[in-house]
Structure 1
Amino acid sequence: MTMMKAGLFLAEKNVAMGELEKPITKNGEALVKVSFAGICGTDMMIYFGKHPRAKVPLAMGHEFSGVIENINGESEFSVGDRVVVEPTLSCGKCEACLAGQSHVCKNLKLIGIDKHGGFAEYTTVPLDRLHPIPDGLSDAHAALAEPVAVAVHAVRRSNLKVGDNVAILGGGPIGLLIGLMAKRAGADQIIVSDISPYRLDKAKKLGLFAIDAKEVNVTEEIKQRTNGVGADVVFEVAGTQITANQMIEISRIQGQIVVVSVYKQSPLIDIAAMHFKEISLTTTRCYSRGDFEKAIRLMATGMVEVAPFISHELPLEEIAKGFELMENPDVSLKVLFQPN
């Protein structure tokens, strides 16, 4: 039995270095030596003991890049190829999968939640979940393909048109990436609200208009900046009752709300207020394979620059420090680990 080091979730707010048995590939899988793996909001949900499927001990991490060490089965990939992992695992049998919409599979699972993920030296990945990393795209930047794909999917699910005013409630990595995607899609004003000065400063540096929700009334500010009309498209990315209220208040008549957040508790939604404004409500889940491929291409061509999103790069041995940093949005945006 060969062992490998792994950063393990052990209990609520308890992560530590440990060991797991080095996985053996099944037919149709590759063994990936992990290069970089990022902490996501879902990892934080697991860390706080709020994820129903996460079982201890677990090597989290579903945003990661690596190098193929072994292949079991026929594949266009070769040992030594640099790859980024699309971590969704669908059943292939439900009506969503059969309709080509596997990202909304009834039985959707995720590497790093339902099986060990990127917070380890090695992990096994189905061959059809691998994407080549283009020349010129670093392993560290490639590890952000997953959150970029979430943003691509959110904007593509919207009705955003050239010249539209966009409001984004929540300035974390996904919210800011949506801002960049909205800019590429032709939005005019892109307004981001948050309560973290650090993240609001990041928004400004990315060319977005930032609102400090602790200092100003978000609804009044957005109404003022849109001549009293409201935003054409609102992206809700904070997942709080406050932003669930604001998303309706700041939407224009016949505007669109795109809910990207995964709410820990179901919010109360004022359907009557939406009714009187004829607001359209759209939800998102993950991303399609096409979205993931577009994300990689956007990063590789320099159309989306992800370097500003990486606030820390740490060895996996500092996994506890990484999660402590992510608990404080005033000092962190995206923390990457290097297991190898």
Structure 2
Amino acid sequence: MKAAVFVDIKKIEYREDYPMPILGDDDILVKVHYCGICGSDITNFKLKMYQVPLIMGHEFSGEVYKVGANIDEFEIGDLVCGINVLLDLNQGDLDGLGIFENGGFAEFVKVPQKYLFHIPNNISTKDAIMIESFANAARGVRLSQIQKNERIFIIGGGNIGLCFLNYLLEEKDPKYIVVIEPHEYLRKKAIEIGANEAFPPIITKIKKFIKNNSDPSYIFDCAGNEKTILMAIDLIERGGSIILEGVFKGKVSFPLFLLNSKEASIKGVLGHDRQDIMNSISLFEKNKIKTDHFITQEVPLSEIQSAFNKYIEGGERSFVKIAVKMH
């Protein structure tokens, strides 16, 4: 079968002779239609965080091609999406697709039943690759315990930041919602989706807005680096909440007294469980997601190396998410 195999730092090999997966009694063979490139895929691409060779890809959709003997919830021909359900690495959950096991950047992928979901009838398999991203937003919003009519900043207006924007606008009716993002293209996307303002990370402009509209009560950091975490602590109102959605591998030094004096809380978020995934699917069923704001480029599997390269190139960014098409 055709597959894109991650073999080393910043190197993916396109192959047309990769062995087909061997199906177990509790597995489902999915014929992949599309697979999205996720930020965590890019991190692995740059750093080689997991064992190689590996077929990455954990935001995939397609149709059921074959089922194991013990499968009773799916039938051949069902349209589905594959999503890893909250991996607890401390408990030894090392079967995540596209991370520890081969994932969706291939014509076919073997999926345990627990990681497979039916997609709503009103969306395409291309749109369905966004269900996983919105499950991240669903979890972050749920764990934040945010109520309606809050003042919100989102730091980082890439795919996940824009998913949070869409989700919060639909579910929480904020008093205002502002996106901080260095790339002009992504700032324009934020305004199209419904942000009140979208600023580059220039503190004078941001604080001028705050002076006229009050401090943010919630900040969702979807970028995940030392500068954005420090910015969030600086901008949050007294007693406010900072939600860390972006994944940062390094250490952060911050002014503890400032955090104490603001009596702010910081909460980390990672992944999504079945409830979050079902909440995401519900949004799609209700037509609350406009996926054309998110899936802005599509490439064939044979061009996946160049697609990954786009994410790490310097200069102005001109896309949100790239979808890889298998057939």
**Equivalent position SS for 1:282:** strand
Are 1:255 and 2:255 counterparts? no
Q: In 2 relative to 1, CA 221–38 (structure 1 residues): closer, same or farther, beyond 3 Å?
A: farther
Q: In 2 relative to 1, CA 108–222 (structure 1 residues): closer, same or farther, beyond 3 Å?
A: farther
Q: Which residue of 1 aligns with 2:312?
A: 327
Contact 1:222–1:250 at 8 Å: present in 2 too? no
2: CA distance between counterparts of 1:231 and 1:248? Answer: 11
Q: In 2 relative to 1, CA 225–120 (structure 1 residues): closer, same or farther, beyond 3 Å?
A: farther
Q: Which residue of 1 aligns with 2:207?
A: 220
Where in structure 2 are the equivalents of 1:110-259 lying within 5 Å?
110-184=96-170, 185-208=172-195, 209-213=197-201, 215-217=202-204, 220-227=207-214, 230-259=215-244
Superposition misfits of 4+ residues, deviation over 6 angstroms: none
1: CA distance between counterparts of 2:86 and 2:169? Answer: 31
Measure how far apart 1:205 and its partner are: 0.9
- Could you tell me which of 22, 25, 34 is aligned with 2:23? 25
RMSD: 1.7
2: CA distance between counterparts of 1:322 and 1:150? Answer: 23
Contact 1:325–1:332 at 8 Å: present in 2 too? no
Identify the range of structure 1 (152-161 vs 252-261) with the bigger mean alpha-carbon deviation. Answer: 152-161
2: CA distance between counterparts of 1:151 and 1:218? Answer: 27
Are 1:6 and 2:8 counterparts? no
| Greater per-residue strand proportion | 1
Contact 1:244–1:268 at 8 Å: present in 2 too? no
Q: Which residue of 1 aligns with 2:66?
A: 70
- Give the counterpart letter for 1:11 in structure 2: D
Q: Which residue of 2 aligns with 1:97?
A: none
Where in structure 2 are the equivalents of 1:303-318 lying within 5 Å?
303-318=288-303
2: CA distance between counterparts of 1:303 and 1:121? Answer: 30
Contact 1:36–1:66 at 8 Å: present in 2 too? yes
2: CA distance between counterparts of 1:299 and 1:263? Answer: 29
Q: In 2 relative to 1, CA 5–27 (structure 1 residues): closer, same or farther, beyond 3 Å?
A: same
2: CA distance between counterparts of 1:155 and 1:50? Answer: 30
Are 1:16 and 2:13 counterparts? yes
Contact 2:199–2:206 at 8 Å: present in 1 too? no
Are 1:338 and 2:319 counterparts? no
After superposition, give the CA deviation of every residue in 1:191-250 in whole Å (9 maximum; x if it has no partner). 11011111111111111120011x5536524522433xx111011111121111111111
Measure how far apart 1:50 and its partner are: 4.8
- Give the counterpart letter for 1:236 in structure 2: D
Contact 2:8–2:48 at 8 Å: present in 1 too? no
**Equivalent position SS for 2:243:** strand
- Unpaired segments ≥5 residues, structure 1: 91-102
- Could you tell me which of 43, 54, 60 is aligned with 1:58? 54
- Give the counterpart letter for 2:321 in structure 1: K
TM-score (norm 2): 0.93
Measure how far apart 1:327 and its partner are: 2.4
1: CA distance between counterparts of 2:261 and 2:206? Answer: 18
After superposition, give the CA deviation of every residue in 1:50-105 in whole Å (9 maximum; x if it has no partner). 52xx2222111001111111111131210110101122375xxxxxxxxxxxx676
2: CA distance between counterparts of 1:35 and 1:48? Answer: 26
Contact 2:149–2:175 at 8 Å: present in 1 too? yes
- Unpaired segments ≥5 residues, structure 2: none
Measure how far apart 1:118 and its partner are: 0.5
Contact 2:12–2:305 at 8 Å: present in 1 too? yes
- Give the counterpart letter for 1:39 in structure 2: I
2: CA distance between counterparts of 1:204 and 1:7? Answer: 35
**Equivalent position SS for 2:61:** strand
1: CA distance between counterparts of 2:152 and 2:229? Answer: 16
Identify the range of structure 1 (249-258 vs 13-22) with the bigger mean alpha-carbon deviation. Answer: 13-22
Identify the range of structure 1 (133-142 vs 11-20) with the bigger mean alpha-carbon deviation. Answer: 11-20
Q: Which residue of 2 aligns with 1:87?
A: 84
Contact 1:326–1:333 at 8 Å: present in 2 too? no
Aligned-residue sequence identity (percent) comes to 29
- Give the counterpart letter for 1:23 in structure 2: P
Q: Which residue of 2 aligns with 1:280?
A: 265
Identify the range of structure 1 (15-24 vs 130-139) with the bigger mean alpha-carbon deviation. Answer: 15-24
Q: In 2 relative to 1, CA 17–221 (structure 1 residues): closer, same or farther, beyond 3 Å?
A: farther
Contact 1:299–1:306 at 8 Å: present in 2 too? no
2: CA distance between counterparts of 1:106 and 1:74? Answer: 25
2: CA distance between counterparts of 1:82 and 1:284? Answer: 29
2: CA distance between counterparts of 1:175 and 1:221? Answer: 22
Count matched residues.
320
Measure how far apart 1:187 and its partner are: 1.1
